[in-house]
Chain A
Amino acid sequence: MKEIVEIIAKALVDHPENVVVDEKEEDGATLLELHVAQDDMGKVIGKQGRIAKAIRTVVKAAATRENKKVTVEIV
């Protein structure tokens, strides 16, 4: 799950080397925190959060397959 966020983020940003995803477990749910370079924030969020939403949608599909609950946050 973590890798999926990484793969997508790296494909979109200008500084893929700065892409880091932290994985945290909270009450049986997985929280993925996506970190990117400051000037790449727009590239993973998008206008009105459209890109962030697309990333979440894809991750959600992957999570459903594994019966997991996953949230993605961009920090």
Chain B
Amino acid sequence: MALSVEKTGKTIDEAREAALAELGAKEDEVAFEILEEPSKGFFGLIGSKPAKIRATIIERERGPIDKAYDLLKQIFEKMNLDVTIEKKETEDGELLTLVGENLGILIGKHGQTLDALQYVANLAANKGREEDRVRVIVDVEGYRERREETLKTLASRLAEKARRTGQKIMLEPMNRHERKIIHMALQDDSSVSTYSSGDEPFRKVVIEPKNRRRGGFRKGYRRDDRFGHGEGGYRRRRDSYEHSESEKVDDREVYSPDEKEELVDGITYAGSYDGKAHEYPANK
């Protein structure tokens, strides 16, 4: 589709701008050809000639984000869903926002379907790319923001509970992004510390009250001493984390206070969250 327009203007720049506006394109997406140089004529009055240019849209190579876009578009077509996909660049990655009526079906329980779509969209976008991998975020109109609010509220509620009961609280399994939200929400809360435990996809956040002895169990046991990073354990070691996919597992769904020691032994700590892999094993 070699879309092309011819425009005139007092100057070449003016003609260019008019052409870009008409094509709805950015400067680097268009090739310009000067058809006529402008001339001022005599005292700018007689015989002045406008600049004339031709602007043609350059056939752009389909980038990674287009592949993700195409895949989603095709899926929604087959689902008979009327979805508009809006593209936007954000600092977290390329954001594809799905807009339409009744898109709850694309979100699923706790965003499972949305995450699955996002995952395949990322795979499609980065297929064959070893470097320069792009990150694609798929959202349904404000869902991720709402979910973030929900998780933050949950985090402070459970932190309060941990404080009150003196016991650690294990959340349900969450993906990396959601765990980050919990960790971040509580990182400035000096009364609790948080870390992640277990292997994907069952990895969960644990909220633990600090000064647990006052909480009333396990006399003489201070895990702060044992691990050497009590205060702000989540944040303090940000330079020493490394990614580990095969950490020791603790996948127990239900967790009773008597089992705390074994659990602690298998525990891993979530590192600082900078969007990269961020888990690292605890010192043994």
**Residues in A lying within 8 Å of B, measured CB to CB:** 1, 3-4, 7-8, 11-12, 48, 50-51, 53-55, 57-58, 60-62, 64-65
Interface-lining segment among B88-96, B113-121, B274-282:
B113-121
In whole Å, how far is A63's beta carbon from the nearest beta carbon of chain B? 10
**Residues in B lying within 8 Å of A, measured CB to CB:** 67, 70-71, 74-75, 78-81, 105-106, 108, 112-113, 115-117, 119-120, 123-124, 127, 200-201
Q: Which residue of B lies closest to A56 (CB)?
A: B116
Task: Decide if B105 touches A64 in the complex (CB within 8 Å).
Answer: yes
Q: List 7 A-B contacts (CB under 8 A).
A: A7-B74, A11-B124, A12-B124, A57-B112, A58-B117, A61-B106, A62-B78
In whole Å, how far is A64's beta carbon from the nearest beta carbon of chain B? 7
Q: Knowing A58-B113, A64-B105 are in contact, say whether A4-B78 is a contact too (CB < 8 A).
A: yes
Task: Decide if A51 touches B78 in the complex (CB within 8 Å).
Answer: no
Q: Which A residues lie within 8 Å of B127 (CB)?
A: 11-12
A21 to B127, CA, bound (A): 21
Task: Decide if B75 touches A58 in the complex (CB within 8 Å).
Answer: yes
A-B contact sample (9 more), CB < 8 A, given A51-B123, A57-B116: A3-B78, A4-B75, A4-B78, A8-B120, A11-B70, A11-B71, A54-B117, A60-B113, A65-B105
Q: Which B residues lie within 8 Å of A11 (CB)?
A: 67, 70-71, 120, 123-124, 127
Interface of B is mostly: helix
Q: Which of A1, A55, A62, A64 contacts B120 (CB 8 A)?
A: A55
Q: Which residue of A lies closest to B73 (CB)?
A: A7
Task: Decide if A54 touches B106 in the complex (CB within 8 Å).
Answer: no
A62 to B79, CA, bound (A): 6
Q: Which residue of B lies closest to A54 (CB)?
A: B116
Q: Which residue of A lies closest to B117 (CB)?
A: A58
Q: Which residue of A lies closest to B199 (CB)?
A: A48
Q: Knowing A51-B120, A57-B108 are in contact, say whether A7-B113 is a contact too (CB < 8 A).
A: no
Q: Which B residues lie within 8 Å of A57 (CB)?
A: 108, 112-113, 115-116
Q: Which residue of B lies closest to A46 (CB)?
A: B123
